[in-house]
Amino acid sequence: MGSFTTHRLRAYDRTRSPVQRFVALRTCIAEFAPYGFKATYHHLCRSAGIPAEPEMDSEAVVRAVEELHAAREIWLAEFRVWQVHRHAQKAAGVRVPDPPEPRRRLWYPDPESHPAEPLTVVMPRILRAPAGDLAECPVCATGRGTKFWHDGFTEHLLCAGCGVSLAGRPTVPPPGVETARAERWRLVWRRRV
């Protein structure tokens, strides 16, 4: 049984403490994170309403893990079809996959900037996003423009609509940005914001 499946069951397991169940959810996110770990973590804590103290609502973890699981199932179904197709292509000597492997994630550098819709709504758009660097946002239906965001190491060009990374380049961080971002992430991590 895969790690995601194992830890999903642990998130359900009422014989475990709420904190242990919450840790199991985090392991699931480390395995499958459509927005990258931090933004997926932030999204699920918000959408499932996970309180700062997991003991206050131990079933919130189940809501979060189910939303993630449903998105993973969408990816998995598409991936398995692609895999069969790809196997036949390889047998026929086709070296470059056509169509390309369905994507399982897009990169959202700002943990607090990602689509507000359920993961199951966004996942089909992620699957179909083109491989490599994105020239335009595959999530927002119409171009919403771009904005810059600095994580303390890299300046990212993000979609102004949903926050997906369109390009990144290492730059010298402006003074204080790195510390401010790290402090902000500590608040997200503890579900204080």
Residue ranges in contact with Zn ion by CB under 5 A: 137, 139-140, 159, 161-162
Q: Starting at the edge strand that comes first in sequence, how are the strands of the sheet with 165-170 ordered? A: 146-150, 154-159, 165-170
The nearest distance, CB 129 to Zn ion, in angstroms, is 11
Considering beta carbons, is residue 140 or 180 the nearer one to Zn ion?
140
* Distance of alpha carbon 35 from alpha carbon 29, whole angstroms: 10
Strand partners, 156: 149, 168
Pick 74 or 162: Cβ nearer Zn ion: 162
Residue 161 CB, shortest distance to Zn ion, in Å, is 4
Using the minimum distance from each CB to Zn ion, give the nearer residue, 45 or 159. 159
Max CA pair span of the chain: 57
**Amino acid residing at 5:** T
Least distance from C-beta 144 to Zn ion, angstroms? 6
Nearer to Zn ion, 16 or 105 (CB): 105
Q: What is the SS3 string spanning 15-78?
A: CCCHHHHHHHHHHHHHHCCCCCHHHHHHHHHHHHCCCCCHHHHCCHHHHHHHHHHHHHHHHHHH
Minimum gap (Å) between residue 141 Cβ and Zn ion: 9
